[in-house]
Structure 1
């Protein structure tokens, strides 16, 4: 089968540092990067040069930018040799570009979050379901936590009953951000025109991980949001108590407003899920990959051993460590879906549930908000 011709729309940090390596990992027999689009010629040309080096190409991918009458986004989308696009653009820009790409007959992999808010996300999904999905076009959301092997391993452990029925859970994210950070110093993040700032941009990852692992979706959110560091407007911290549809419940703490770098380094972080017969945790770790240390995750599964009367007599522990692989998996799964083998990961509606949690927590002010109703009524 011939490789799928793809283009990257956007030339920012994540396109360079995550999507180019992912394309290299998936390999030229699966995808062929043919073009790069950015609003500016400089941005597109720079990423094209990086792509040529990273992918060991004989020549750089074609460059498209807004000021080129015959080489703009419309010209790129008109190419029949490009079957799919990866959209890596600012949050509020993405919905319009997604629609444009789908209208041009392209399959789409768009970066998370799926939309800046629930209402616009529902409209976008309705347009896709009505106008483009019936034509066989695939749209997937690039939520790499959803496709991480580690979270899938944890989900299977729960499904297989290794910790019994889920009772309660907690997730904690503590991040330190300063004005010199490369992630802060992008104009659309410095002055965000969307709710929640980094809480939306980064917080959806944790919700996606829980969505993958928990056997029942989060239904009710009661929380508070606050701004603790002025330059991270509009908010940088959420503390929420949640309940899943099956009655299990949990506590979620998300902050990008830690006061010092040491707080982010030493604070207890990660996800723990407790069941009637054990518990599991997923934590970020460094893993040796040959001579270098790379980012990865450790899944710890502890199962209670019981006698015939149900008394705990001991416990067993399983530990699994995996190098982070979510971004390459997103791309591989998109191509698989295009070729008729869809594993169901990365659906826009699933990703919208993550946005719905953030929206609910930002607006709760302590009152319970039904996520299901928010998804239907927004």
Structure 2
């Protein structure tokens, strides 16, 4: 599968381009940038062709699929352009910042027999399959609750994740991970019952947030995320008789030995796993989905992408509603 890359984002150069080179039967044939110098530098590093401008890359007949690592607010435009150019698409998360637009792009891909896959890499790491197996085996009894946190330290002031016009903010960037993890563990029928988004001092986007989700049978998911916090990447499953704890849940390096911790009344067990490369696994899953074809069920997991888009929208709406009610209930400061 011959892949073109729309943009020279850090995640593309640092993680995705090397992974594409490691997966059999995939290769990077071209990388595009609006800056010809940047395209040339990246192309030299990965032995592919530099292209100036995104439309020029989409017009190339030697490109079968494209990877879109652009800022979130630009995804909709360029994912649609790629699909209309007949290319399969691996798009960074979230696919778009609007659930209806995401649904329209999914339908466009289906109508053209193309694969549209959201680049949520952590679900392709083997450690989560081990957690799921332990849960099925009843190691911690009946599941009662799920907790997940993904927080990172403050970014440089000019980072695009602080720019609202590019779709920045904690929810769109790091909040995606715990919300998607809740879907992965608890299934598709989650509903948002509460949410808070906080804007940091001198920022124009949300820099932290929390959400409470619930399944129809009452299992809760408590989620925390933020852009200006001590680093944490973790989730816990709380059962009737114990808990399962996983650190480095979302962005483990390829050489990391995961440890699944099982805490029960009769002691603590630490299950040490072999390293796994979730980035390489994601590229392989995308290539496999393209080979399977859009007509063979849901090889790219777009059902989960649609549900994630709706949950992110609902978290934002719940948080806005809470803020509105809070302002209305605040006592007047005008004096009497």
TM-score range, shorter chain: 0.7 to 0.9
Per the TM alignment, residue 346 of structure 1 is displaced from its structure 2 partner at its CA by 4.0
Structure 1 contact 9–36 (Cα < 8 Å) conserved: yes
The correspondence for 1:222, drawn from 194, 198, 203, is: 194
**Contact in 1 for aligned 2:6/2:69 (Cα 8 Å):** yes
Aligned with residue 243 of structure 1, among 214, 231, 234:
214
- Structure 2 distance, partners of 1:324, 1:154, is 15
2:190, 2:197 → 1: CA distance? 18
| Unaligned 5+ runs, structure 1 | 53-60, 67-72, 259-263, 305-311, 369-378
> Which residue of the partner structure matches residue 171 of structure 1?
148
Aligned to 1:270: 234
1:126 and 2:104 aligned: yes
Structure 2, unaligned runs of 5 or more: 326-336
SS at match of 1:92: helix
2:310 aligned with 1:329, yes or no? no
Aligned-partner SS, 1:20: helix
For 1:278 and 1:112, locate their aligned partners in 2 and report how far apart those are by CA, in whole Å. 33
2:150 and 2:225 in contact (8 A); partners too? yes
1:12 matched residue in structure 2: 9
Describe the SS at the equivalent of 2:178. helix
Identify the residue that residue 256 of structure 1 maps to in structure 2.
227
The offset of 1:141, in angstroms, is 0.4
State the 1:295 CA deviation.
4.6
Residue 44 of structure 1: which of 39, 42, 49 is its match?
39
- Under a length normalisation based on structure 1, what TM-score does the superposition of the two structures give? 0.75
Choose from 168, 176, 193 the match for 1:204: 176
1:1-378 correspondence runs (5 A): 4-26=1-23, 29-52=24-47, 61-66=48-53, 73-118=54-99, 122-129=100-107, 131-179=108-156, 185-186=158-159, 188-193=160-165, 197-215=169-187, 217-231=189-203, 233-258=204-229, 264=230, 270-284=234-248, 294-295=255-256, 297-302=258-263, 314-315=266-267, 317-323=269-275, 325-340=277-292, 344=299, 346-347=301-302, 348-353=305-310, 355-356=312-313, 358-365=315-322
Question: Could you tell me how far 1:194 is from its partner in structure 2?
Answer: 5.5
CA distance change for structure 1 residues 230 and 22 in 2, over 3 Å: closer, same or farther? same
TM-score, normalised with respect to structure 2: 0.83
Name the count of aligned residue pairs. Answer: 319
Aligned-pair CA distance for 1:358: 4.1
In 2, the alpha carbon distance for the partners of 1:344 and 1:213 equals 19
* Contact 1:11/1:44 (<8 A) preserved: yes
Q: Secondary structure at the match of 2:73?
A: coil
